[in-house]
Amino acid sequence: MTLRSTASARAKVRIGHLYGDLLNLYADRGNILVLTRRCEWRHIAVEVVSIGMGDRIGSGEFDLLFMGGGQDGDQQFLGDDLFRVKADGLRGAVHDGVPVLAVCGSYQLLGHYYDPGTGPRLAGLGIFDMHTVHPGRSVRRCIGDVVVDWIGAPVRSPRSVVGFENHGGRTFIGSGARAFGRVVSGNGNNGEDGTEGVVQANAIGTYLHGSLLPKNPHLADYLIGKAVSRRTGSAKLEPLDDHLEWQAHQTILDRRASHVAPVAGRVKLPWGSAR
Ligand code: GLN
């Protein structure tokens, strides 16, 4: 386990990055950079701890956990470790309300199972009440930009979330979980039921790569707010100058505009606040 302390000795937000070397499709580690910088810009001390094969997750050890996407082979390779070494710590963290962001391949492994279509079914941790089935190599993959209407968006927050998907697996959520969002453009969980991702407690599973958070500062702050408020009781974060982030966000919205049902017009760009 490697420790990179980037701020004062007393860390306020400790981020656990699971399998960073294995699960990093489409630069998903960019999400860690965004979370780290948005804490530092607010003078919130932050540590990023790489959690690799064989590393356990201790109770109360982390304030935020992140897992990225991976190919079927990567998922098979780490499956045993995920079950034998990580399962209790991850389940405990979710139960304790730790914010978790799991993207694509890791999202799939936190459900009941992932059936990759070829090779053995991969058992999941059952944290998310959902399952995933790959319909076979001859069936088109879900690839492209995605626009989502974030169902649980905080009040006064923009509701659109944008990203990029590339997955063969189709995910179907059960009655015990709720969707992260409604697909406005793209495929989302399965290209059929209009859902994208899943939410259970403060854990979010999503197919959105990109990486996701640089173009969705409101979602990054939502996760940071959850982590900080578990420690301090308050989630009031100093506003940042996010005009570049929102320009990147709007670019995806505009790019998908011809495929998009009207989603409350253009995103209101929160200009001006100093970084
Ligand atoms: N291997 C999984 C699939 O194809 C997840 C891919 C990913 O993480 N982008 O569905």
Write out pLDDT tens, residues 60-116. Answer: 999 999 999 999 999 999 999 999 999 999 999 999 999 999 999 999 999 999 999
The reported pLDDT for the residue numbered 235 is: 75
Q: What is the pLDDT of residues 206-221, one digit of tens each?
A: 999 989 999 999 999 9
Instruction: Please confirm, yes or no, whether 131 is among the known catalytic residues.
Output: no
* From 25-34, 213-222, 257-266, the region with the lowest mean pLDDT: 257-266
Per-residue b or e along 157-171, where b marks 16 or more CB atoms closer than 10 Å to that residue's CB? ebbbbbbbbebbbbb
The minimum-distance atom of ligand 1 relative to the CA of 23 is 8
Q: Where would I find the beta strands (DSSP E) of 45-190?
A: 46-51, 64-67, 100-103, 113-115, 122-123, 130-133, 142-150, 160-167, 170-173, 181-185
Q: What is the mean pLDDT of residues 134-149?
A: 96
| Exposed / middle / buried, residue 264 (Cβ in 10 Å: 0-12, 13-18, 19+) | exposed
Q: Considering the chain, what is the average pLDDT of its residues?
A: 90
Please give all residues whose beta carbon lies within 6 A of any atom in ligand 1, as ranges.
Answer: 25, 69-72, 75, 104-105, 108, 134, 166-169
Q: Is the pLDDT of residue 198 over 80?
A: yes
Ligand 1 center from residue 184 Cα (angstroms):
21
The reported pLDDT for the residue numbered 21 is: 93
Complete domains list, the chain, with CATH: 12-145+163-237 (3.40.50.880)
The reported pLDDT for the residue numbered 267 is: 42
* Element of type H or E holding 195: strand 195-196
Name the token pair of 98. Answer: 């730790």
CB of 127 closer than 8 Å to CB of 180: no
> Could you report how far apart the first and last alpha carbons of the chain are, in Å?
32
Q: What is the mean pLDDT of residues 182-194?
A: 97
